[in-house]
């Protein structure tokens, strides 16, 4: 769709940035905090880059005032952060830790004082270790009331201060990484267990949304999903069908539950044939149908290109795409024959010949961002809050103290332009949170892969002085916010 003039961003558009507790806070045992599954997982040899972990991270726990001051200097309108469940309830289901609540109370107050809208994520992957040990974590329905108790503590404490809430961050990612690829906790490779855990999380998400609407009726809540649009390799009908299958399997399987309260028939039928479908009761169905999110959070990095499944495809057999097909388009995790069994009859992932990639092999696709926003809004009719979008790169601290991250600026600028086009197309947008505000622990990639507008002086080998230094992108985004995106032009 061609626009001769683009619509402006809404006057109240929330220009923000994001983080996650385990990746920034540190203070792993401070003030009564209990261990999370990430505290243990990162100590397993070989699981993270050079054995990096979040024990100190970038020390946001002790430096949040400095970080919020930088947010205010940038002019940030919103800051999305997550709460560490085991900081609030150390064993996941017992006594509430007042010191843990107080830390987030202080953070929220600091944000509000500096006119930064707090956006609170309830779960960003760090389940209390005690719940994993006692119940098997998300594989057990026993974890649902524990999550509901944790949510209640936060809703009651912050319901009048925080308007925007995110339930689960990238459920599609942490379930696959944790229960399929063994690259996140709980370090499992079992598809049936993965789909059952995913179902339990869907139920917990529904319980949280319903409780929120009861306790915080004036607030807004929704899940945050790692979305990637599906492309057919070309116009060959079999490849178009493969793209439909890919979208159903990698997107609709979650979004339909979030927004419609029911599992899509197509994917459920395939999983039932394989004997790995989750057990869904009538009560489960009623619960899922009852929960209505206020918005849809979208994390966008890239999509995926597919062709006809390799069992039936006798036309396209080039070496390049076969080599790429060993990699998942969103997670970039290696597959083997057993692991990819649900996908094999539906589609085969291939590289997109029109796209460049980042240093970590993720495709760079700004137009796909517009497509993602268009598709999600058209299919589900909910306002969209972009809760993550950004570029991980190796940033260099120059001798004069500057960090010239022009590649990041170019990446973000192109994506913001496509978001502006999506708004001009008619998509209702709440805000945009770039990933991330400061550099942080990149889960499996240590501190080498940097995302922030603010450089943190530490690396895989030690914390150094943890000094905060503004990158060139800091000043660029500051100008974007001052102009409310009017400087983002075709």
- Spatial contact of 412 and 481, defined as CB atoms under 8 Å apart: no
Provide the angle, in degrees to the nearest 10, between the axes of the packed helices 406-425 and 366-380: 30
Helix segments in 5-142, DSSP class H: 21-24, 37-41, 60-74, 85-88, 98-113, 129-135
d(CA 152, CA 55): 27
Residues 6+ apart with CB under 8 A from 163: 117, 218, 219, 220
Report in angstroms the alpha-carbon separations of 141 from 229, 277, 335, 414.
32, 16, 29, 43
Active site residue 388: yes
Q: HSE (CB half, 13 Å, CA atoms) of 40?
A: 14
- Spatial contact of 223 and 167, defined as CB atoms under 8 Å apart: yes
Candidates 346, 338, 367, 373; CA nearest to 355 is 367
- Which pair of structure tokens corresponds to residue 323? 């080599």
Q: Strand 348-350 and strand 304-307: pairing?
A: antiparallel
d(CA 114, CA 116): 6
- Which pair of structure tokens corresponds to residue 19? 């983080």
Given 388, 398, 399, 486, which residue is catalytic? 388
| Residues forming the active site | 388
């Amino acid at each position: 769709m061609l626009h001769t003039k683009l619509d402006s961003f809404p006057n109240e558009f929330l220009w923000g940035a994001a983080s996650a507790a385990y990746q920034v806070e540190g203070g792993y045992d401070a003030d009564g905090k209990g261990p999370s599954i990430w505290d243990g997982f990162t100590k397993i040899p070989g699981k993270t880059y050079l054995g990096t972990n979040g024990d100190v991270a970038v020390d946001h726990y002790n430096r949040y005032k400095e970080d919020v001051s930088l947010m205010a200097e940038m002019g940030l309108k919103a800051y999305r952060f997550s709460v560490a469940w085991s900081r609030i309830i150390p064993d996941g289901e017992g006594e509430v830790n007042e010191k843990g609540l107080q830390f987030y109370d202080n953070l929220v107050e600091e944000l509000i004082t500096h006119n930064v809208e707090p956006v609170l994520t309830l779960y960003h992957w760090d389940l209390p270790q005690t719940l994993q040990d006692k119940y098997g974590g998300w594989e057990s329905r026993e974890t649902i009331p524990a999550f509901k108790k944790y949510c209640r503590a936060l809703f009651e404490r912050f319901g009048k201060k925080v308007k925007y809430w995110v339930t689960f961050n990238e459920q599609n990612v942490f379930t696959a990484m944790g229960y399929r690829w063994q690259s996140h906790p709980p370090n499992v490779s079992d598809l049936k267990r993965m789909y059952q855990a995913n179902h339990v999380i869907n139920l917990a998400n529904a319980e949280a949304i319903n409780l929120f609407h009861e306790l915080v009726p004036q607030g807004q809540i929704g899940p945050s999903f790692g979305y990637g649009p599906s492309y057919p390799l070309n116009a060959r009908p079999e490849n178009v069908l493969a793209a439909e299958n890919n979208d159903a399997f990698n997107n609709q399987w979650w979004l339909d539950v979030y927004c419609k309260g029911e599992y899509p028939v197509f994917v459920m039928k395939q999983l039932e044939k394989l004997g790995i479908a989750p057990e869904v009761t009538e009560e489960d169905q009623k619960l899922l149908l009852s929960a209505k999110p206020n918005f849809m959070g979208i994390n966008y990095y890239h999509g995926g290109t597919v062709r006809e499944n390799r069992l039936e495809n006798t036309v396209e057999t080039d070496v390049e795409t076969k080599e790429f097909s060993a990699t998942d388009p969103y997670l970039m995790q290696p597959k083997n024959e057993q692991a990819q069994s649900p996908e094999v009859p539906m589609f085969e992932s291939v590289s997109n010949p029109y796209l460049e990639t980042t240093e970590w092999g993720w495709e760079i696709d700004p137009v796909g961002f517009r497509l993602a926003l268009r598709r999600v809004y058209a299919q589900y009719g909910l306002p969209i809050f972009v809760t993550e979008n950004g570029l991980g790169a190796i940033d260099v601290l120059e001798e004069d103290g500057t960090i010239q991250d022009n590649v990041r600026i170019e990446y973000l600028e192109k994506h913001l332009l496509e978001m502006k086009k999506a708004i001009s197309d008619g998509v209702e947008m709440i805000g945009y949170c770039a990933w991330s505000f400061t550099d942080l622990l990149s889960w499996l990639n240590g501190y080498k892969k940097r995302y922030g507008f603010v450089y943190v002086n530490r690396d895989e080998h030690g914390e150094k002085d943890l000094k905060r230094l503004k990158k060139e992108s800091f000043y660029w985004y500051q100008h974007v916010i001052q102009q409310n995106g009017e400087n983002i032009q075709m």
